[in-house]
Structure 1
Amino acid sequence: MTDHLRAEHPRPQFVREQWVHLNGEWEFDFDDEQAGDRERWYAGSRELTKRIQVPFAFQSKLSGIADPAFHDTVWYRRKLAVPDSFAGRRVILHFGAVDYEASAWVNGTLVARHEGGHTPFHADITDALAEHGDNVLVVKAVDYSRDVTLPRGKQYWLADSASIFYTRTTGIWQTVWMEAVSPVHLEKVRMTPDIDRKSIEIRSFIQGAERSGNLRMKVEITFEGKPVAEDVYRVTGAQTTRSIRIEDFNDHGLGGWWTPEHPNLYDVTFTLLDGETEADSVKSYFGMRKVSIEDGKLCINNRPYTMKLVLDQGYFPDGNLTPPSDEAIRQDVELTKAMGFNGARKHQKLEDPRYLYWCDRLGLLVWSEAANAYEYSEEYVHRFTREWLESVERDYNHPSIVAWVPLNESWGVPNIQIDKRQQQHALAMYHLTKSIDEMRPVVSNDGWEMVTTDLFNIHDYEWRREVLEERYGTVGKAVSAMPANRRLAVEGFPYAGQPILVTEFGGIAFKKSDWEGWGYSGAENEEDFERRLRSVIQPLLESPVVQGYCYTQLTDVEQEINGLLTYDRKPKIPLEIIKRINEGL
C-alpha cells in the first residue's frame, strides 16, 4: 500500500514548511452494535481489530477492507507521533473530509466535532498532547446511508449500485495531517483579483492578533520567479484588507491573465511579522482572472468564451471517491485537455484540493457543484447550507473555478415547481452564494426548473442531429423546449436573457472494457461512436444561441459505460479525434 499513501501536501494553496501527513495504516472497527461510546473506545486504550489504509474509505479496495455493506458507525485509532520540530509551537490537526459526522479525541480528550461529508475541519490539539510518551488519536465517523435527505451526491442509499448511483463512502476519505504554527498565525487568506484595476485584493485573517500590538504583514509576489510586487503593512486586528497593484502586469505574457490556454499563476509568500520576529510564513498562489456576463455573453477576461466542459464524476475503480494518487489526479486533467475540453463540471462532489491545484496549474475551468441530497426536509436545509458555505470558503481562491452550482436537476428540491419552500431554498442558495462571492456566476438549479440564475443551463440527451439543430436554432425554441419532459424554468421565473448552455448531453454508451453497463444511447463500434459524438457536439458548436456545453461524461463509472474513457482511463477512440470534434473539425 505504500504507493497510495497520498504523501503530497493536501492544501497546495496554503503551504507551511512544518507539516506531516497521517495517512497509512490505522486500526479500524465497525460499530454496528453502537458499543463504542458505551465502552469508551474514544479513551484510546482499546486496540481495534481491523486495519485500514487511510485516506481510503472502507468500501474501497485501496482501504484494504473493500466491504460495500452498510456500516454507518466506524472507529479509527492510531498512535500520534509529534515531530521534534513542532516543539514550542501549536499543533493543528487537519481532516480533509470525513463522511458524514466526525468526532476526534487525542488521549481521550475531545478535540473536534464536524458535520458534513465533503468539507475540511481542524483542531488545535496542543493542550491535549502528553508531555511525555505516546499520544493516541481516535476518530469516530457516523454516516446515515439510507437517509435520502442527507447531502450525499452519487452515493446510493440501497445495497447495490444501480442507475446513476454508485458505491457509498463512509468515514475518512481525504488526507489527515498535522502542521505546526505559532500562537499568532495566519488562519486564512481571501484573494480577489481585479484585472480591470490590475490589482489583487488580499484579506487576511489572523489567529491570536490580540496577543500583539506590533503585527505587520509582508506580501511578496513573483511571476515565473521574477519579483512583481512587495508590500509591508500593519495588521490592526483579526482581519485586514489590502489591495496590491501589479505594476508591470502587461509584461507577463498575455497580460499575465489566467486562462485554460495560458494558465498564468502568480506565486505569493505571506510573512507575518511580530515586531522583527517572523511569526508565520505561508506560500500560496493566485491567478488574475475575471468571469463576467456582458450583454448576454459569458466572458473570461472581458471576452466571450465558449466553455467546452466534460462531466466528471470523480470516481476511481479502486479508490471510489478518493483518487489513488496525485499522478492519477493530474492524469484526469491532462486527458480532459487532450480531448479538446477546456473545463470540467465536477458532478455531485466537492473535489480534492489537489485536483483544483492541477486545474490551476495546467489550465482547466471547473464548475464546482455540491453533493446534493435527494429529498427535501428542514434538517436537509440546515445541513446543506452549512456544508455549501464551507465549500465556497474552502475554494474561493482557485482561479480555475468559474461557476458555483449548489443544486442539480432538482435534487433535494424534487417539488420545486409547486412547492414555495423549495423555491425559496433554491433562491436562498443562489443569493447566499452571491453574497459571499461576487466574482463568479451561480446556477440556481442546473438542468431544469430554474429560479433566479446567472446561467440558463439545459440537460438534453437527445441523440439525433436534426432534432438538436432545430431545437437550438433560436433562443425561443431553446428556452421553451422540454428535453427531459421538465419545464426549464419555474413559473414566475421566465428566461431573462442569460447565456444558454447545454450542461448535460451525449452520454453515449460504448463497451470497450470488461465493464457492463448502460448509457443514454448506444454505439456499436469505434466508427459509430465517432459519428454519434459528432452528431451531438456539432449542433451545439454551430448553434447561434448555445454558448457552451458539458458532455456526459469523462469516464465509465461502475454500471455506467457512457464515458469517453473506460473506468481505468483508457480512451475508447483516439484522443485527437475527440479533440478535432470539439474544435469543430
Structure 2
Amino acid sequence: MTNPYLRNDYPRPQFVRDTWMSLNGEWEFEFDDQGIGEREGWNKGRDFSRTINVPFCYQSKLSGIGDPAVHDQVWYRRTFIVSEAYKTGRLLLHFGAVDYEAKVWVNGQLVAMHEGGHTPFTADITDVINEGENVLVVKATDYSRDVSLPRGKQYWEDQSEGIFYTRTTGIWQSVWLEPVPETRIDRIRLIPDIDKNDIGLEVFLAGHNASIKASMKVVITFNGEFVAEDCFSLSHESGRRDIHLDDFNDHGLGRWWTPERPNLYDLELTLLINGEAVDMVQSYFGMRKISVEAGKLHLNNRFYYMKLVLDQGYFPDGLLTAPSDEDLRRDVELVKEMGLNGVRKHQKIEDPRYLYWADKLGLLVWGEMANAYRFTEPYVARVTREWMQAVERDFNHPCVVAWVPLNESWGVTNILIDKQQQHHALSLYHLTKSLDPTRPVISNDGWELVATDLVTIHDYEWRKEVLTERYATVETALTVQPGNRMILVPGFPYEGQPILVTEFGGISFKVNDWEGWGYSGAENEEDFAQRLQNVIVPMLQSPVVQGFCYTQFTDVEQEINGLLTYDRKPKVPLETIRSIVAGS
C-alpha cells in the first residue's frame, strides 16, 4: 500500500526539472549522545540500530520514533542506486532543510557542510558516486539549549510550555537527487513590473566558462496561451532581460495576481550551448506589486486591506513538517474559507510547497525569520547568513508580500536602549531591502521598531470599547503602548507609514479534552463568536488601521487560542468567521 506520508511531491515547485529522484522514506538512524560518531567512523558506512521516516524529525510521531527528549547529535544512513539517466553531466544532492548543522558523506567522502536549520543546501556528488549501490550518510547537530541559535518557536527546555513548542532536530524537509548538465541554469530571479507590464528575468549559470557560447530561450504562456518569447546571449555567469507582456492587465479583467484572482504565467527556460539545448527549467510568476503610496498600503497600485492570520506552521504528528502536500494545500484553503486574505508565517521559514499553494490559490504571505532569544556576536553572523538564504530562496513567490527579520525584540531584548542591538535591527532592515527592493520590510514586528516600512503593533486587549478608542487616531495608536512597550524606538519618529495590528485576539476556547491557554477565554461557541467580533470590528472600523493579523490559525500544543483546533477542526462554523471578518 502506498505510504501517504512519503512527501514525494517535487520539493522546489518554482524551479522544476523533469528528471529527479526523491530520497524521502525509510532511512537507518542513530542517536549519538556521546558524540563519538565521527571518531568511530560512522560516516564510513556503519549500520544503525533504528529506522526513521525522512523528512520527519525524530521528535515527531510520523518519523516512527516520536521521542521528544534532547538528542543533539543524530545520524542518518541510506543507500541509493544511480540509473543510467543519472550518469551524464553532474549529479546534485539537495536538502530542503536540516536543523541545525549538517555534514554529508557519500561513499565515505565528505560532500557538504551546512549551518542553518531552515534553509536549503546542495552538494555536487558526481565525483564520488559508484556504479550500483551508493551509501549516503548525514550527521545532524542541534544545540537545543543554546538560546542564541535561530530557532523560532522551538523550546530550549525539555517540555513545551507557554508560547514555545517541541523542538525539531535533523532532516525536516525533502531530500532528492537531480541530474544536471555540466553547464546549467543555477537559479533565476523574477521581478514583475506591472507599471510597464514587463517581467524582469535574471539568470545565473553554473559551469560557465569563457569558451562557451551560451544563450537563453524564454517562452511565456498563460493558461496554455502564448504570451511572449525571447532569446538572448549570456557572455558571463549571469544575465538580465526585461520581457514585455503584450496583454491586457487592468480593470479587474486582466492577469495581475491578487488573492482574489491568483493569475500565474508559466515560464519555460532553455539553455543553449553553441545552439544546442542542454538544460530546461519550468517556472512560473505572478504580475503583482506591493507598495506604500502616500502612507497607504497598496496591492497593484490600489489600497488593499490585509486580513491576515498568524500561522505557526505546526502539525500534531509532523511538527514543522506537514504530513502531506494535501495538508499544506488544505491549510491555504482553510484560511481563504474564513474570509482572510493572508498569513503571517510566524517564526518559521515555510516549506516551498506551502508557498506554491499560496501562489496558486491566492494567499498573501509575510515571510518571517525564525529568531533567536539572546544577542551575541556569533548570533549576528548566524541569523544574517540564514536570513539572506531565506530571502533568496523565496524571492520569486508572488504570494510573499512582506519581510519580517525580527519579531517582538527576540534576540534584541535591549533594543530600546542598546545602540548595538539597534544597529543590528537596522542592518537587517537595510540588508533585506538591498536584497529585495520590491517588498516592504518590518524591522521588528510588534513594538520597539527602528527604521521600518510598516508600523506594526501587537495588542491583546479584548474589550471592544478600549480597542475602538485606542485605534481612533494615529496618536492614540502609537502612544498607548500595549504590553507596556514603546511602538517606536526613540530617535526613530513616525514618518507616516501604514499602521497594522499584526497580533491581536488570541481568544482561547476549549472544545475537546485538550488543555491549554490563551490571552482571553470563551465559554461556548456563541461567546467565542462574540469575542471575535469584539476584537475584529474595531480593526475594520478604525480610520487608522490598514490591516490586521489575528492570533491564531490553529491551536498548537498547549496553546488553545486558534480559530481551528490543532487537527484543523473549526471551533465555530467557517461561515461565522467569514461573516465577522467581512464586517457583517
TM, length-normalised to structure 1? 0.99
User: Which amino acid in 2 is paired with 1:570?
Assistant: K
The correspondence of residues 318-329 of structure 1 with structure 2, limited to 5 A, is: 318-329=317-328
**Deviations for 1:542-561, whole angstroms, at most 9, x for unmatched residues?**
00000000000000000000
Equivalent-residue separation in structure 2 for 1:447 and 1:250 (angstroms): 36
Give the Cα separation in 2 of the matches to 1:354 and 1:545.
35
Runs of 4+ in 1 over 6 A off after TM superposition: none
Question: What is the CA deviation profile of residues 293-339 of structure 1, one whole-angstrom value per residue up to 9, with x for unaligned ones?
Answer: 00000000000000000000000000000000000000000000000
Give the Cα–Cα distance (whole angstroms) in 1 for the partners of residues 473 and 420 of structure 2: 33
* C-alpha contact (below 8 Å) 2:82/2:132 kept by paired residues: no
Is contact 1:457-1:500 (8 Å) kept?
A: yes
Look up the equivalent residue of 1:74 and give its one-letter code: V
Q: Which amino acid aligns with 1:106?
A: V
Once residues 541 and 25 of structure 1 are traced to their aligned partners in structure 2, the CA distance between those partners, rounded to angstroms, is 49
Cα pair 1:413 1:422 within 8 Å, conserved: yes
Q: Residue 184 of structure 1 contacts residue 211 of structure 1 at CA under 8 Å; is this kept in 2?
A: no
Tell me which residue corresponds to 1:20: 21
The root-mean-square deviation of aligned C-alpha atoms, in Å, is: 1.0
SS in 1 for 2:161: coil
Q: Distance in 1 between matches of 2:480 and 2:402?
A: 24
Per-residue deviation, 1:35: 1.0
In the aligned structure 1, how far is the partner of 2:115 from the partner of 2:530? 47
Name the structure 2 match of 1:292: 291
**In 2, distance between residues paired with 1:223 and 1:217?**
20
User: Which residue pairs with 1:42 in the alignment?
Assistant: 43
Identity rate, percent: 66
- Supply the distance in 1 between the matched residues of 2:132 and 2:310 (Cα, whole angstroms): 50
Residue 123 of structure 2 corresponds to 123
The superposition leaves residues 417-462 of structure 1 with CA deviations (integer Å, 9 ceiling, x where unpaired) of 1111100000000000000101000000000000000000000000
SS of the residue corresponding to residue 150 of structure 2 reads coil
Deviation at 1:385, TM superposition (A): 0.2
**Which residue of structure 1 lines up, in the alignment, with residue 113 of structure 2?**
113
Q: Deviations over 1:115-137 (max 9, x none)?
A: 0000000011000101x231100
**Does residue 383 in structure 1 map to residue 370 in structure 2?**
no
Counterpart in the other structure of 2:135: 136
Distance of 1:89 and 1:63 partners within structure 2: 34
Q: 1:296 to 1:476 in 2, by over 3 A?
A: same
User: Partners in 1 of 2:112 and 2:480 — Cα distance?
Assistant: 49
How far the C-alpha of 1:81 sits from its partner, in A, is: 1.6
- Deviation (angstroms), 1:496: 1.3
After superposition, residues 119-268 of structure 1 pair within 5 angstroms as: 119-130=119-130, 132-210=131-209, 212-250=211-249, 254-268=253-267
1:251 & 1:439 partners in 2: Cα distance? 20
Q: CA deviation at 1:213?
A: 2.6
Q: 1:31 — aligned with what? A: 32
2:250–2:256 Cα contact (<8 Å) kept:
no
**2:459–2:501 contact (8 Å) kept in structure 1:** yes
Aligned-partner residue type, residue 16 of structure 1: R
For residues 22 and 495 of structure 2, what CA distance do their matches in structure 1 show? 49
Counterpart of 1:508 in structure 2 is: 507
Deviation at 1:87, TM superposition (A): 2.1
1:67 equivalent in structure 2:
67
Question: What letter corresponds to residue 27 of structure 2 in structure 1?
Answer: W
The CA distance in 1 between the partners of 2:193 and 2:480, in whole Å, is 38
The residue that corresponds to 1:92 in the other structure is: 92
Give 3-state SS (helix, strand or coil) of 1:218's partner.
strand
The farther-off stretch of 207-216 and 59-68 is: 207-216
Instruction: Please state how far the C-alpha of 1:254 moved relative to its aligned partner.
Output: 2.8
Scaled by the length of structure 2, the TM-score of the pair is: 0.99
Q: In the TM superposition, what is the alpha-carbon distance from 1:395 to its structure 2 partner?
A: 0.3
Letter in 1 for 2:326: E
Task: Give 2:82's aligned residue.
Answer: 82
Give the Cα separation in 1 of the matches to 2:73 and 2:251: 53
Give the structure 2 partner of residue 550 of structure 1: 549
Within a 5 Å distance, the mapping from 1:321-470 to structure 2 comes to 321-470=320-469
Q: Unaligned regions of 5+ residues in structure 2, if any?
A: none
TM-superposed deviation, 1:43: 1.1
Tell me, yes or no, if the aligned pair for 2:81 and 2:132 is still in contact at 8 Å.
Answer: no
One-letter identity of the residue aligned with 1:107: N
Q: Tell me how far 1:179 sits from its aligned partner.
A: 0.5
Q: Distance in 2 between matches of 1:43 and 1:503?
A: 50
Question: In 2, distance between residues paired with 1:209 and 1:252?
Answer: 44
Cα deviation for residue 215 of structure 1 reads 1.0
Assess if the C-alpha contact under 8 Å between 1:198 and 1:249 holds in 2.
no
Asked whether the 8 Å contact 1:444–1:453 carries over to 2, the reply is yes
Deviation at 1:83, TM superposition (A): 2.8
Question: Which position in structure 1 is the counterpart of 2:471?
Answer: 472
Is residue 2:286 matched to residue 1:281? no
Q: What per-residue deviation string (whole Å, max 9, x for no partner) do you get for residues 70-99 of structure 1?
A: 000000000022232112121100000000
1:255 Cα offset (Å): 2.6
Distance 1:307 1:250 in 2: 22
2:328 aligned counterpart, secondary structure: helix
- The corresponding residue for 1:562 is 561
CA contact (8 A) 1:212 1:274 kept: no
Residue 484 of structure 1 aligns to a residue whose secondary structure is helix
Given that 1:92 and 1:122 are in contact with CA atoms closer than 8 Å, whether structure 2 keeps it comes out as yes
What SS does structure 2 have at the residue aligned with 1:4? Answer: coil
* Counterpart for residue 2 of structure 1: 3
The answer as to whether partners of 1:92 and 1:180 remain within 8 angstroms in 2 is yes
Give the Å deviation of 1:188.
0.1
What is aligned with 1:314? Answer: 313
- Displacement of 1:252 after TM fit? 11
